[in-house]
Amino acid sequence: MTSNLIGVLAALSLAIGTAASALSQAQQAATIEARTAAGGVAVTWRLAQPTTEVAFLDPAIIRNLWTVTTPGLTLADGVVKSDRPFDTFQILIAPDAAEVDRVYMGLTRVGAGHVLYGPGLELKGMDAELTAQPVAGETTLPQADAIKGYAYIGPEAAVTRRDGGAVVTGASVPASLSKLMGDGFLAAQAFYGARLGRDLPYQPVLIVTTDSPGPTTFRGDVTDTGVISTRFFGTSWDAPAEDVAGPLSTFVWHETFHLWNGHGLTLKDGDSAPWLHEGGAEYGALVAAASSGVIDEAQARSSLARRLNGCRATLKDRDYDPRRLQSGSSVYDCGVLIQWIADLEVRRASDGRRDILDLWKTMLDARRAGDGYGVADFRALLPADSGANILLDAPGADRWTGIEARLTALGVSLVDQPGRGDYRRAALVHLNAQNCTGGGTGFYQVREGIQLDTTDKCGVLSGSPVLASIEDHDPYADAEAMFVAIQTRCVEGLPVRYRFQDGQAVEAVCKAPLAQPKAWVVTAAPALTTRAT
Ligand SMILES: [Zn+2]
């Protein structure tokens, strides 16, 4: 079932062997078996030959909750060791304790089952094959190549098999969320399949769990086996808050786009320019969801405005620096802006006959003849004077007037009209910067309210307090009045009075004026809706 896989991995292990191992080390191989156990998943490695030390291939996976259950062996810094040679060992893997930015979860609970990250089990310099062993009432997915991505091991009862793929739903997932995700997964595949082609190299699987350890409200990722893992934290998923419901409506559409643009093919600039595949997925999701009636044009416009403002807030007037588009929300914000501009341009140039999905299809089809796709391939499809050049090439000082003029010329109406979220962000980020040393910090919206994301180097604001009020204003509901009050205090160099939800009252320093935030509202724009075939 995995002859192709073994060929690929053999090539990989040879390359590593040449670079890193002594010549005397013979070609190693391992079989790996995983099964449900008390407290997580028990994994057994069987090596072709005894050794005293093996190292895991991917050091980024978090393994601090992995316990070696074979006597006489230890696991530290991604290395399993013993004084005596061993050819088998077992580790009990407990679910990860937290979501960490841009790191795959080693193990996540899905009701009574789990999703295990196969590549996290691979050993350096070895071919490996992973078999998940179901116990009574259990099943495993995907059918093949489990070592290459996420694998589900758990109750068969959690799996729904439909045309277009299987959906695994954790036992505690509310029906409304399960329907939103499952229906979106299938509808998105139908839409992308019609526009981008149906030749996916895998049978897609969607996993939905509300057993995320947090702190991220919800998060998803896709692996090379076509398995999408979506993870929700907390208990409010039967009736999510308004500011969560918006992004949630297109979440699975975004992840499903990655089945086409992120996996089963090579991303030439996946790490150096993630804005291309992430912006493509996020903007493609908006277009597809709008065209399928999942969101309306007003929702699409407010989503685009949020991305535009987010990109402007990150890049500001500084000249382009690729590092600013390699992590955090700017990857998505600026990525969407570039896709939007490209879409407006191609639709205008073709009188609406072509759109952004035609550009993606051209690029994805061409990848078969070559070595994947990247930024140069994408930019080659844009007009020579594309508005994307303003963002990527033009001097920073001219960027936002240039973008505004270009969007206007393409039929978009922008009005500078900050909302309470913009006032809140401007005020809290400014005060954090005034009080913290060693880098700016932000804040989270948590169930209890607004929680600062502060380290211990933020004076009286240290320790990530949850806010009750600032200058007697609620930072959530009353953000604009709070902003004005803070602005008045700062301009006079007076301390700003905070009250925390634990009852503590503090005075934070403010010696620099607080600038008016800028935030566009998109009052009109060409419709995103496009053809579904
Ligand atoms: Zn993504």
- For 174, half-sphere exposure in the C-beta direction (CA atoms, 13 angstrom radius) is 12
When pLDDT is averaged across residues 412-431 and rounded to a whole number, the result is 94
Q: How far is the CA of 104 from the centre of ligand 1 (A)?
A: 13
Q: How far is the CA of 163 from the centre of ligand 1 (A)?
A: 24
Q: How far is the CA of 411 from the centre of ligand 1 (A)?
A: 28
Q: How far is the CA of 121 from the centre of ligand 1 (A)?
A: 23
Measured CA to CA, the distance from residue 474 to residue 451 in angstroms comes to: 12
Q: How far is the CA of 229 from the centre of ligand 1 (A)?
A: 12
Q: How far is the CA of 530 from the centre of ligand 1 (A)?
A: 22
Return the higher-pLDDT residue of 455 and 110: 110
Query: Helix (H, G, I), strand (E, B), or coil: what is residue 150?
Result: strand
Q: How far is the CA of 23 from the centre of ligand 1 (A)?
A: 41
User: Band of the pLDDT at 243, cuts 50, 70, 90?
Assistant: confident
Q: Estimate the share of the chain in helix, then strand, then coil, as percent rounded to the nearest 5.
A: 35, 25, 40
User: Band of the pLDDT at 368, cuts 50, 70, 90?
Assistant: low
- For the stretch 170-208, pLDDT in tens is 999 999 999 999 999 999 999 999 999 988 889 999 999
Q: How far is the CA of 220 from the centre of ligand 1 (A)?
A: 8
Q: How far is the CA of 237 from the centre of ligand 1 (A)?
A: 21
User: Band of the pLDDT at 5, cuts 50, 70, 90?
Assistant: very low
Measured CA to CA, the distance from residue 312 to residue 335 in angstroms comes to: 12
Q: How far is the CA of 137 from the centre of ligand 1 (A)?
A: 33
pLDDT above 90 coverage of the chain, percent: 79
Contacts of 431 (CB under 8 A, 6+ apart): 461, 470, 486, 496, 508, 510
Q: How far is the CA of 373 from the centre of ligand 1 (A)?
A: 16
Do you know the residue count of the chain? 533
Q: How far is the CA of 400 from the centre of ligand 1 (A)?
A: 26
Q: List the 107-110 sheet strands across, edge first.
A: 107-110, 113-117, 150-155, 138-141
Q: How far is the CA of 253 from the centre of ligand 1 (A)?
A: 10
List alpha helices for 139-296, DSSP H. 175-196, 242-261, 275-291
Q: How far is the CA of 514 from the centre of ligand 1 (A)?
A: 34
Cα distances (Å, whole numbers) of residue 327 to 29, 190, 274, 310, 330: 36, 31, 8, 13, 7
Q: How far is the CA of 277 from the centre of ligand 1 (A)?
A: 7
Q: In the prediction, which pLDDT does 297 show?
A: 97
Task: Tokens for 33, please give them.
Answer: 């078996």
Q: How far is the CA of 359 from the centre of ligand 1 (A)?
A: 19
Q: Which of 277, 141, 253, 262 is nearest to 203 (CA)?
A: 141
Q: How far is the CA of 222 from the centre of ligand 1 (A)?
A: 8
Task: Decide if 230 contacts 207 (C-beta within 8 A).
Answer: yes
Work out the angle between the directed axes of helices 330-349 and 356-367 (0-180°, nearest 10).
Answer: 100
DSSP secondary structure string for all residues of 346-370: HHHHTTTS--HHHHHHHHHHHHTTT
Q: How far is the CA of 366 from the centre of ligand 1 (A)?
A: 22
Measured CA to CA, the distance from residue 113 to residue 34 in angstroms comes to: 12
Q: In the prediction, which pLDDT does 356 show?
A: 98
Query: Helix (H, G, I), strand (E, B), or coil: what is residue 196?
Result: helix
Task: Tokens for 287, please give them.
Answer: 């277009």
Q: How far is the CA of 405 from the centre of ligand 1 (A)?
A: 29
pLDDT beyond 90 at 22: no
pLDDT beyond 90 at 264: no
- For the stretch 452-487, pLDDT in tens is 988 788 999 999 999 999 999 999 999 999 999 999
Q: How far is the CA of 275 from the centre of ligand 1 (A)?
A: 9
Q: In the prediction, which pLDDT does 11 show?
A: 27
Give the range among 39-43, 239-243, 308-312 with minimum mean pLDDT: 239-243
The conformation of residue 425, written as its DSSP 8-state character, comes to H
Give the range among 156-165, 253-262, 288-297, 491-500 with minimum mean pLDDT: 156-165
Q: Which of 99, 126, 429 is nearest to 117 (CA)?
A: 99
- For the stretch 386-421, pLDDT in tens is 999 999 998 999 999 999 999 999 999 999 999 998
Cα distances (Å, whole numbers) of residue 30 to 44, 45, 174: 10, 6, 40
Q: In the prediction, which pLDDT does 12 show?
A: 27
Q: What is the mean pLDDT of the chain?
A: 91
Q: What residues are paired with 475 via a beta bridge?
A: none
- For the stretch 215-229, pLDDT in tens is 888 999 999 999 999
User: Band of the pLDDT at 439, cuts 50, 70, 90?
Assistant: low
Give the range among 284-288, 455-459, 524-528 with minimum mean pLDDT: 455-459
Query: Helix (H, G, I), strand (E, B), or coil: what is residue 92?
Result: strand
Q: How far is the CA of 221 from the centre of ligand 1 (A)?
A: 7
List alpha helices for 92-231, DSSP H. 175-196
218-222 vs 227-232, strand pairing mode: antiparallel
Q: How far is the CA of 263 from the centre of ligand 1 (A)?
A: 11
Query: Helix (H, G, I), strand (E, B), or coil: what is residue 527?
Result: coil
Q: How far is the CA of 280 from the centre of ligand 1 (A)?
A: 9
0.95 exceeded by the pTM?
A: no
Query: Helix (H, G, I), strand (E, B), or coil: what is residue 1?
Result: coil
Q: How far is the CA of 99 from the centre of ligand 1 (A)?
A: 15
Q: How far is the CA of 3 from the centre of ligand 1 (A)?
A: 30
Q: In the prediction, which pLDDT does 13 show?
A: 27
- For the stretch 331-351, pLDDT in tens is 999 999 999 999 999 999 999
Measured CA to CA, the distance from residue 295 to residue 286 in angstroms comes to: 8
Q: How far is the CA of 332 from the centre of ligand 1 (A)?
A: 8
Q: How far is the CA of 279 from the centre of ligand 1 (A)?
A: 8
Measured CA to CA, the distance from residue 106 to residue 15 in angstroms comes to: 25
Task: Please identify which residue in the block is written with the tokens 């160099």.
Answer: 493
Q: In the prediction, which pLDDT does 235 show?
A: 82
Q: Which of 342, 253, 336, 255 is nearest to 302 (CA)?
A: 336
Q: How far is the CA of 252 from the centre of ligand 1 (A)?
A: 10
First to last CA, the chain: 34
CA 288, 392, 312, 459 dihedral sign is positive
User: Band of the pLDDT at 423, cuts 50, 70, 90?
Assistant: very high
pLDDT beyond 80 at 288: yes
Measured CA to CA, the distance from residue 421 to residue 194 in angstroms comes to: 38
28-37 vs 126-132, strand pairing mode: parallel
Our measurement of the distance from residue 472's CA atom to the centroid of its chain's CA atoms, rounded to an integer in Å, reads 36
pLDDT beyond 80 at 52: yes
Q: How far is the CA of 103 from the centre of ligand 1 (A)?
A: 13
Q: Compute how many other C-beta atoms are within 10 angstroms of the C-beta atom of residue 283.
A: 29
Q: How far is the CA of 328 from the centre of ligand 1 (A)?
A: 12
Q: How far is the CA of 465 from the centre of ligand 1 (A)?
A: 31
Contacts of 132 (CB under 8 A, 6+ apart): 33, 34, 35, 116, 140, 146, 151, 153
When pLDDT is averaged across residues 483-509 and rounded to a whole number, the result is 97
pLDDT beyond 60 at 158: yes
Task: Please identify which residue in the block is written with the tokens 């996946």.
Answer: 270
Contacts of 387 (CB under 8 A, 6+ apart): 341, 344, 345, 402, 403, 406, 407, 410
Q: How far is the CA of 314 from the centre of ligand 1 (A)?
A: 19
Q: How far is the CA of 254 from the centre of ligand 1 (A)?
A: 6
Q: How far is the CA of 305 from the centre of ligand 1 (A)?
A: 19
Q: In the prediction, which pLDDT does 3 show?
A: 27
Measured CA to CA, the distance from residue 328 to residue 216 in angstroms comes to: 13
Give the range among 20-29, 48-57, 85-94, 249-258 with minimum mean pLDDT: 20-29
Q: How far is the CA of 185 from the centre of ligand 1 (A)?
A: 14
Q: How far is the CA of 73 from the centre of ligand 1 (A)?
A: 38
- For the stretch 289-339, pLDDT in tens is 999 999 999 999 999 999 999 999 889 899 988 888 888 889 999 999 999
Our measurement of the distance from residue 21's CA atom to the centroid of its chain's CA atoms, rounded to an integer in Å, reads 35
Q: Which of 58, 102, 313, 100 is nearest to 216 (CA)?
A: 100
Task: Indicate the Cα dihedral angle 531, 308, 321, 426, nearest 10°.
Answer: -160
